[in-house]
Amino acid sequence: MSSRNKGQMEMAGLVVIVILITLGILFMAQFALKDEPSKKIFTRKELAASTMAALMKTTVVDCTGGPTQFPQIEGDLLDDCAVWGNEYSQYVCDGQPSCSFLHTKIEELLGETLGVWGKKYHFVSEKVSTGMSVFEEKIEGLNGNCEDRERDTSGDFYLPSGDGLVRSVLYVCE
User: Among the candidate windows 87-95, 109-117, 126-134, 158-166, which touches another protein by CB under 8 A?
Assistant: 109-117
Please identify which residue in 109, 127, 144, 163 interacts with another protein, judged by CB under 8 A.
109
Burial code (b: 16+ CB inside 10 Å, e: under 16) for 151-161 equals bbbbeebebeb
Helix (H) or strand (E) segment spanning residue 111 = none
Count the Cβ atoms, other than its own, within 10 Å of residue 1. 5
Q: What 8-state DSSP symbol labels residue 149?
A: S
Whether the CB-CB separation of 125 and 134 falls below 8 Å is answered with yes
**Nearest distance in Å: CB 37, another protein:** 6
Partner residues linked to 126 by β-bridges: 133, 167
Q: Scan residues 69-88 and list those touching another protein (CB under 8 A).
A: 69-70, 72
Q: Per CB under 8 A, does 20 bind another protein?
A: yes
User: Among the candidate windows 16-24, 96-104, 130-138, 156-164, which touches another protein by CB under 8 A?
Assistant: 16-24
Whether the CB-CB separation of 56 and 73 falls below 8 Å is answered with yes
Q: Given the rule CB under 8 A, which residues bind another protein?
A: 13, 16-17, 20, 23-24, 27, 31, 37-39, 42-43, 46-47, 49-51, 53-55, 57-59, 61, 68-70, 72, 105, 109, 112-113, 117
